[in-house]
Amino acid sequence: MLDLAILGLLDERPMHGYELRKRLSPVLGAFRAVSYGSLYPCLRSLAERGWVRVDEAGPAPGRARRTRVTYELTPAGREHFRRALTEAGPDAWEDGTFAVHFAFLGRVPREARLRILEGRRRRLEQRLDAARDPAGHPGRADTWTAELHRHALESTEREVRWLTGLIDGQRVGQDHR
């Protein structure tokens, strides 16, 4: 999830870790920032897999030591990113991952775009079905539990409508990015 988000940002242009972190929050959907304890190990593992090139920007004239490390996508990394996004499978519909796939929808053919949006919508509708089934949650309805359930239902229904709007927009427009 984090790897995909990082690849997506580096696909745009090379960056160093600190900047990456700042740009990551909108991509992750929620407004939380990722911690360095996740970020740097993740960058290292991407480098080990050959998808990212690490540029330690040797001591600039007059500087004793490197300060910044620039990370850059390799051709293999770029290739992997496109694939991962275009061939997105079931886990692209899940909560954490969906936001990341969504953020990069503009870099993928409309067909894949529709597949991701519709997959997510299907996933949410499954949940709604389960949540509406009274057999699923036995026991009495405490006011607060019931209220929580109601709010969760409404939020999900709202997301479904949002997706429907986007899907319809994709279908009429010709390759509207």
**Of 11, 14, 17, 53, the one binding DNA by CB under 7 A:** 17
Question: Among a copy of itself, DNA, none, what binds residue 18 when CB lies within 5 to 8 Å by partner kind?
Answer: DNA
Residues found in the chain = 177
Q: Which span sits near DNA by CB under 7 A: 67-75, 106-114, 117-125, 148-156?
A: 67-75
Under a CB-based contact definition with an 8 Å cutoff, are residues 86 and 108 in contact? yes
Interaxial angle between packed helices 95-103 and 110-132, expressed in degrees from 0 to 180 and rounded to the nearest 10: 160
40 sits near DNA (criterion: CB under 7 A)? yes
Alpha-carbon distance 1 to 4, whole Å? 5
Question: Percentages helix, strand, coil for the chain, rounded to the nearest 5?
Answer: 65, 5, 25
**Of 2, 77, 104, 120, the one binding a copy of itself by CB under 8 A:** 104
Residue 172 burial by Cβ neighbours in a 10 Å radius (0-12, 13-18, 19+) = exposed
Neighbours of 49 (CB within 10 A): 13
157 sits near a copy of itself (criterion: CB under 8 A)? no
Task: Find the shortest distance in angstroms from Cβ 88 to a copy of itself.
Answer: 14
CA nearest to 153, candidates 133, 135, 139, 167 = 133
1 sits near DNA (criterion: CB under 7 A)? yes
13 sits near DNA (criterion: CB under 7 A)? no
Binding positions for DNA, rule: CB under 7 A:
1-3, 16-19, 32, 34-38, 40-44, 63-65, 67-70, 96
Binding site for a copy of itself (CB under 8 A): 22-23, 25-27, 29-31, 95, 99, 102-106, 127, 130-131, 136-139, 142-145, 147-149, 151-152, 155-156, 158-159, 162, 166, 177
